[in-house]
Amino acid sequence: MLMRLIYLLIALTLPTWVCSGDTSSPISASSRYKDEPILPIPLTITLDTRKIKLGERLFNDPQLSHNNLLACASCHQLLLGGDDGLARSITNQGKSDLINAPTIFNSVYNFRQTWRGAFRTLEHQAEADLKNPRHGASTWYEVLPKLNADVYYKRTFQSIYPEGITRETVLDSIATFEKSLITPNSKFDQYLRGNESAITKDEKEGYLYFKQYGCIACHQGVNIGGNVFQKFGLFADYFSDRGNITKADYGLFNVTGKEKDRFVFRVPSLRNVAITAPYLHDGSLKSLKKTIELMAIYQLGTTLPDEHIDKLEMFLKTLTGEYKGQSLVMKDAL
Amino acid sequence: MMTSKGKSIIIIAGLLCLISVIYFVEISNDFQKNHNEVLYNLQELKNLDNKLDRDVLLIRSGIIRHYNDLDNGLIKIEKSLKKLNTLFVNDFSLKYVDINKLQSKLSKKVKSKEKTINTLKSNIGVLRNSFMYYSNESHRLSLLFNMLDSEQLSNGLKWIVSTELPLFNTLIINLLRNPTSFDKELFSTHIQNFNSKINNVEELVFYNKLKILILHLEMIFERNYNVDTALNEISENSLIKVIDEIQSIYLDLFEENQKQISNYQKLIYLLSLILIFYCAKLLWMQLNTLHEMKEIAVHLGYQKQALDEHAIVSITDKNGIISEVNKHFCETFGINKNDIIGQNHNLIKSNYHTSGFYREIWETISVGKVWRGEIKDKKNDNEFVWLDQTIVPFLDAKNVIYQYVSIGTDITKQKKIEQDIEFQAYHDALTGLPNRRLLMDRLEQMSSLCKLHNYFGGLIFIDLDRFKTINDSLGHKIGDKLLIQVSERLNLCVGIEDTVARLGGDEFVILLPEVDDDINLVTLELQNKADEINRKIREPYLIEQHVLYTSASIGIALFPEMTQSSDCLKNADIALYKAKDAGRDCFRFFDASMQEAAEVRLLLENDLRDALLKNEFKMFFQPQYDYDNALIGAELLLRWEHHEKGLISPQQFIPIAEETGFIIKIGAWVLESGFKKIKYWNNRYPELSSLQRIAINVSPMQFMQSDFIDVVIRLIKETEVDPYRVEFEITEGMLFANIDETIEKIKQLQSLGISFSIDDFGTGYSSLSYLNKMPIEKLKIDQSFVRDLHLNSNNETIVQTIIFMATNLGMNVIAEGVETKEELEALNSMGCKKYQGYYFNRPMAEDDFEKILTSG
C-alpha cells in the first residue's frame, strides 16, 4: 500500500522537481521559507543562563586537560568562527592533529557530531575529547577533584545542580553552553524571513545555482548540512587524486567498520562558511572558490563556469550569522 | 480473658489485612495509571511513526527538500521509546524477561529504521541531481547535434545520439515506472554497450561530455536501486506492526496479572471479615475491664496535677512530633498550646550544643534508656531557656518505643549566674577584654592550628609609656578610664578573628591568628599593624576635662616557634623591653632577622625616594643573540647602586616601589633614559644593524595608568627615539586583568612602531587559547622551563608546545636564562632561534655593552 502511494505521489509531483530551480512562484514573501529547502536559524534559544555561564567557564578552562594546556576553546575559538583557523589543530603535545577542527557554532543543529559523525550528542562529543589522548588526555578521576578544589566551581555547581560536580553535571553545563552558540540573522536568513532586499541580485542568482546544480541535495535544512552522511568522491576518486591517504580519511568507516562507509563523512554545515577556512576534513583548501570548484567535480560530476562559481561564493557569504547580536567576522590577521 | 500475646497477634493480623487492602487499592491505582500511560505511549509511537512515513513520502516526492523533519521525527521516536521503556520497567505486571523482550524488539526496529532513513537521505539527493543532470545534458546534446551539419559528424556520434540516448530515455522511464521489476542485466549491458560505442565518437567535446553522462547514468541506476531498497524496507518493516504486536503481548500479560490480583483481593476480604468478628468479641471483653480502669485514672489525675504545678512536661511520638504539653511548658516557652501540638520537638532546639551532644541524647533514648541532663532550648530567636531535663522513652509490649515524655525544670537563672562567674574568670573586670587565662588558652589553640596549616600568627605585646605617672598624678579613676579608652582603640585596630587581651596594669596583648604562610608577608603585616597601633595610641584622650597623651611600646613575636607557646608571650615581652630601651613609642621584633628586615625595608623605602634625585639608578643591558651567535638586541635591566649598601637587586626594591606607587616615577625614568640611550647609540652607530630592538620592562601599574600612552608619546617626541627600535616587555598576568582595554592600548602603541613581548611566558595564566586574541609579536620562554631542558621531559613538552603555538600564530620566541650549551642545543632543535642568558653574557653596564656593540 505504502509503495503504491509513493509511486502515485512521484507521478503527481514529477514536473515539480524537474524544474525545481524555478523560484518565481507567486507565494507570499513572509512565508517563503516554509517551502524552501533551507530554513532560518531561530532568533533565540531558551536555555538556563546560569548553566550557560558555568559552561562557558568550563569551555575555556584548560584544567579539563591532563597537562592544563588545552581547553575546548583552544580549537573552538568563538572569535575565529568557532574553530581554530588551522588546517589541523594542535594536540596537547604541540603536534599537528589528524583532522581539521569543525566549527562549534550551530552544532546543536547537527544530527551527529564530528566529521565522521561518531557522536549523537554534544555531551558524548565533549566527554570523548576530554579523554582523547591527543586532546584532553584526562579522566574524570583527574578532572573532578581539580574542579572540586576550585571555590567558584564548587559554589556554582551546588547552586545549580543538587548533586554538585559530577560527570553528568559537568557535561550538561558544557553542552548547554554549546547549545547557546547559534548564529541567527544572517543576510540569507533575513531574506528567507521575507526581507527581499537583504541579499543582492547576484547573491539570489548564486542561491539559484546552489539549487540547480544540486549542492542543495546535501546542504539543506536549518544548518545547511550537518544532518546527512555522504561519500566524499562520488564522481571521481578524491583520495587517490590527492594521495597520501591516512586513517582519518576513512571517515565513518572508522566508526562502523563497514566497507560501504569508507570515505563517508557527515556533510558539514555551510553556516558561516566564509569565515571558517581552511576547508574540507583535511583542511587542505584555503580558498572558498577552489572548494566550490572541487566539490562540483567530485560530488556533482560537473564543472562550473567561473562566473557561476563567483555567484555561488557570493551566496555562501550571505550565510554568515550573528553571535550575541554581533555579526561574525573574519579573524584579524596577526 | 485473652493473653496479651494473643491480643497483639490479633491486632497485628488486623493491621496486616488493613495494610494489604490499602496496598492493593494503591497498587491497582498506580497499576491502572501506568497501564494507561503505556497504551497512550504506544499510540503516540504509532502516530510518530505515521508522521515519519509521511515525511519520507514528502521527501521522496520532492515536496520537501530538507531532512530536518526526518531528524526531529527520529529524535521524538527515540524519546518516546525511552519513556516507554521506563514505563515497562515500572509495570508490576511484567516480569524481567518480558520487559527485556518487549524493549529489545522495539529498539531494534527503531534502530534499523533510522539506518534505512540515513541511507535514504544519502541517496535521494544524489539521485535527484544525476537525474536532473542527465535530462538537461542529454537534451542539450541533442540540440547541439541538430545544429551541426550531420555530414561532418562521425558515425559513432550519430549512432549514439539517434539510437543510444533515446534508448536510455526509455530505460529511465521504465526504471521510474516500476523499479522492482526493472531489468538490471539489460541496463548494465546497455551501459557496457554505450561505453564501447563512445570510443567511436571522434568529436572530443562530445566524447568528454558523454563520458560524464555515463557516470551520471550509472549513478541514477545505483542510487535509484538504493532508494528503492530503502523505501521497500521502510514499507515492509513498518513499526506499526511491531507496536501492535507488542501491544497485544502486553495486554495479554496485563490481563493475566489482573486476574491474579483479583484472586488475592478476594482472599483478603475473606480474612478481613473473620477478623471483624474476632474484634467484636474482643471489644465485649474490654468493656468489662473499663470500669476498673476509670478508677485508676482518677488517681493518676491527682498525680498529674501535682506534676504540672512543678515541672515543664511535653510528650512526643517516636518521631519527635509533639502530641501533648502542659501549661507550664506553654508559659515557659511563650507558646499557645494549639500552635505547638503537631510540630516537631526540634522547634525549640537551640543548636547551642554540639551535634555530638544532641546525638548522644538521641542514642540514649532511642534504645529505651532514660536521659538526664542540662539543656539549652530556644524560646524565640533571641531568648533561650535552660532546662534540667529528664527524657523517658515509653515502650510498648513489643519493646518498641512509641512515645517520649520530657519532664524539666527551668534553671535559666542559675545558669546565668554560672555563666557570669565563668566570664569573670576569663575576662578582665575593668575593660571586659579577655584576661591572661583566656589569652593563653587561645594562643595554645591557635598555635597548634597554625602548625597544622603551616601558617604563622603573631603576638603583639603593648605597654603604655608613662602610665604610672598618670595614675599617680591624676588618680586611679582617671587611669582606669584611660585604660578603657585604650582597650576600645585597640579593638578597633584588629579584625574579628583577632583577640585583644589585657594582662593587667597597662599591659595589653593582641593575638593575630594565621596571618600568612609567607614569613616575609607576616613580618610586613605585623609591622603595619604595630605602626597603626602606635599611631592610634598617640592620639589625644579626653577624660573628665583632661586632655591626656600617651604612647605605647610594642614587642612582637611570631608563633608557632620551636618552643612552647608560653615562651611566645615571653618573647614578645623581651621584644617589648627592646622597644622601651630604644626610647619608647616604637615597636621591636623578637626575632633579630625580622627586625633587620623591617628596618631594611623602612630604610629602603626612605632611600628609594631619594634614589632618583641622587642618580643612583643605573641601566644594565643583557645582550640577546641568535643561533649564529649574532647580536640581535638587548633587554634593559634596572640596577640600584645605593650610596652605602652598594648594589641592591631589583627583587628587593621593585616590590617596595610597587607597593608605595613609586614604581610610576621609576618607570618613567627608565623609559626616558632608555629612549635617550637608544637614540644616542643610533646616532653614533647608524650603520649598526645588530641593534634591532632594546626591550624595556613595563610594570603592570605603570601600564595601567590612564595617561601611559600620552607619556610614551611625549617621551618619543622629546627624545626623538625611533619607536621601531623599542620593545616593551609585559607580563602575562597583565594581559588578562582587563583584556579589552589592554589590547586597545597595545594596538595604539604598536601603531607608533613599538613592538610587544610577553615576559616569563608559561608561568602565569597560560591558557594558550587566549593567545591569538593578543596582538603580541614575541614570547619570552621563562627561564624556569629552560633550566635543564634537555633532562626534564615535562619542561620539554611545555617548551615544545609554546614554540609550536607561537610559530602557528606567527609570533617570535626567545628563551631567557640560557646557561649551558646543552640547553641552547635543545632549544635550537625545537625551533627556538633567539636566546638571552649567562651562556652568552651577564647583564652589563652601558659602557661595557657599547663595547660589545662596536666590536661585533
Q: Does residue A274 belong to the interface with chain B, where contact is any CB pair within 8 Å?
A: no
Answer yes or no: do A80 and B805 touch at CB < 8 A. Answer: no
Give the closest of A9, A17, A302 to B133, CB-based: A302
Contact state of B118 with A228 under an 8 Å Cβ cutoff: yes
How far CA B630 is from CA of A108, B634, B691, B840, in Å, comes to 54, 12, 10, 11
Among partner residues B767, B772, B800, which is closest to A71 by beta-carbon distance? B767
Q: Using pLDDT thresholds of 50, 70 and 90, give the confidence band for residue A261.
A: very high
Residue A9: count of CB within 10 angstroms of its CB: 16
Pairwise CB contact (< 8 Å): A12 & B61: yes
- Closest-CA residue to B761 (of B785, B787, B727): B785
Measuring CA to CA, how many Å separate B706 from each of A34, B700, B741?
A: 55, 12, 10
Q: How many CA atoms lie within 13 A of A329 on its CB side?
A: 6
- pLDDT value at residue A331: 56
The CA-based angle A324-A326-A328, given to 5 degrees, is 110
Tell me if B108 sits within 8 A of B239, measured CB to CB.
no
Kindly report the number of other CB atoms within 10 A of residue B183's CB atom. 12
- Proportion of chain A in helix, strand, coil states, percent, rounded to 5: 45, 5, 50
On whether the CB atoms of residues A275 and A331 are closer than 8 A, the answer is: yes
- Taking only residues 78 to 97 of chain A, the set having a beta carbon closer than 8 angstroms to any beta carbon of chain B reads 79-80, 86, 90, 92-95
Beta strands in B318-422 (DSSP E): 322-325, 371-378, 384-395, 401-410
Q: Is the pLDDT of residue A333 over 50?
A: no
Give the nearest chain A residue to B212 (CA atoms): A301
How far apart CA B525 and CA B493 sit, in angstroms, is 13
Confidence of residue A54 (pLDDT cuts 50, 70, 90): very high
Nearest to A230 among B122, B805, B811 (CB): B122
> Which pLDDT score, from 0 to 100, does residue A113 have?
94
Identify all chain B residues contacting A1, using CB atoms and an 8 Å cutoff: 235
Please determine, for residue A28, whether its predicted confidence score (pLDDT) is greater than 60: no
B53-111 pLDDT, tens digit per residue, is 989 988 988 888 899 999 999 999 999 998 988 888 877 667 777 777 777 888 888 99
Look up the ipTM and state it.
Answer: 0.85
Residue ranges of alpha helices (H) inside B312-398 are: 327-333, 337-340, 355-365
Task: Tell me what pLDDT residue B277 has.
Answer: 83
Q: How confident is the model at residue A221 (pLDDT cuts 50, 70, 90)?
A: very high
- Which cell numbers in the block locate residue B309? 504545678
What residue type is assigned to position B30 of the chain?
D
Q: Which of B68, B76, B235 to mutate to test the interface with A (most CBs of A within 10 A)?
A: B68
Q: Does A228 contact B67 at a Cβ distance shorter than 8 Å? A: yes
Closest CA of chain A from B100, distance in Å: 24
User: Is residue A231 less than 8 Å (CB to CB) from chain B?
Assistant: yes
Mutation target to probe the A interface, by most A beta carbons within 10 A, among B49, B53, B60, B71 is: B71
Indicate yes or no: CB of A94 within 8 angstroms of CB of B797. Answer: yes
Does residue A192 belong to the interface with chain B, where contact is any CB pair within 8 Å?
A: no
User: Is residue A52 over pLDDT 90?
Assistant: yes
- B852 with B633: CB under 8 angstroms? no
Quick check: A220 and B67 CB within 8 A? yes
Structure confidence by residue, pLDDT tens digits, B492-530? 888 888 899 998 888 999 998 877 777 777 888 888 889
B118·A220 Cβ contact <8 A: no
Rounded Cα–Cα distance for residues B372 and A199 (Å): 87
pLDDT at A237: 93
For residue B771, the chain A residue with the least C-alpha distance is A74
Confidence of residue A23 (pLDDT cuts 50, 70, 90): very low
Q: If you average pLDDT over residues A255-265, what whole number do you get?
A: 92
* A–B interface: beta-carbon pairs under 8 A: 152
Report the gap between the CA of A278 and the closest CA in chain B (Å).
14
Supply the mean pLDDT for chain A: 87
Chain A residues with CB-CB distance to B53 below 8 A? 2
Q: Of the candidates A5, A37, A79, which has its C-beta nearest B66's C-beta?
A: A37
What was the pLDDT predicted at B690? 62
Q: Does residue A9 register a pLDDT over 50?
A: no
> Which chain B residue has its CA at the smallest distance from A13's CA?
B61
Bridge partners of residue B464, in order along the sequence: B552
DSSP designation for A81: T
pLDDT of A332 above 70 = no
The span from the CA of B69 to the CA of A114, in Å, is 21
- The pLDDT assigned to B3 comes to 58
**Environment class of B250 (CB within 10 Å of its CB; exposed 0-12, middle 13-18, buried 19+):** buried
The predicted structure's pLDDT at residue A21:
38
Q: Which pLDDT does position A18 carry in this prediction? A: 38
B135–A77 C-beta distance less than 8 A: no
Which residues from A are below 8 Å from B125, CB to CB? 214, 216-218, 220, 228
More confident residue, A189 or B251: A189
Q: Tell me the domains of chain A and their CATH numbers.
A: 28-42+184-228+267-324 (1.10.760.10), 49-179 (1.10.760.10)
- The CA–CA distances, whole Å, from B13 to A190, B8, B26, B59, B411 equal 75, 8, 20, 67, 48
Residue A216, chain B, CB below 8 Å: the answer is yes
Are β-strands B631-642 and B693-697 bridged in parallel, bridged antiparallel, or unpaired?
A: parallel
Cα A277 from chain centroid (whole Å): 13
Q: What is the pLDDT of residue B155?
A: 82
Identify the pLDDT of residue B764: 56
pLDDT digits (tens, 9 = 90+) for A123-170: 999 999 999 988 989 999 999 999 999 989 999 999 999 999 999 999
Residue A88 pLDDT > 90, yes or no? no
- List chain B residues with pLDDT less than 50: 1-2
User: Does A12 reach chain B within 8 Å, measured CB to CB?
Assistant: yes
* pLDDT on residue B6: 67
Report the gap between the CA of A247 and the closest CA in chain B (Å).
22
A262 has a pLDDT exceeding 90: yes
Instruction: List helix spans (H) across B613-662.
Output: 650-660
Which range among A29-33, A267-271, B264-268, B313-317 has the greatest average pLDDT?
A: A267-271
Three-class SS string for B31-75? HHHHHHHHHHHHHHHHHHHHHHHHHHHHHHCCCCCCCHHHHHHHH
Is the CB of A230 less than 8 angstroms away from the CB of B65? no
Select the residue of B57, B71, B219 nearest A9 (Cβ to Cβ): B57
Nearest to A20 among B62, B122, B811 (CB): B62
At residue B818, the pLDDT reads 92
Q: Do B212 and A10 touch (CB under 8 A)?
A: no
Rounded to the nearest angstrom, the minimum Cα separation between A299 and chain B is 9
What percent of chain A shows pLDDT beyond 70?
Answer: 88
Task: Judge if the upstream peptide bond of residue A278 is cis by omega within 30 degrees of 0.
Answer: yes
Beta strand A322-323 pairing with A326-327 = antiparallel
Asked if A222 and B132 come within 8 Å (Cβ–Cβ), the reply is: no
Confidence of residue A16 (pLDDT cuts 50, 70, 90): very low
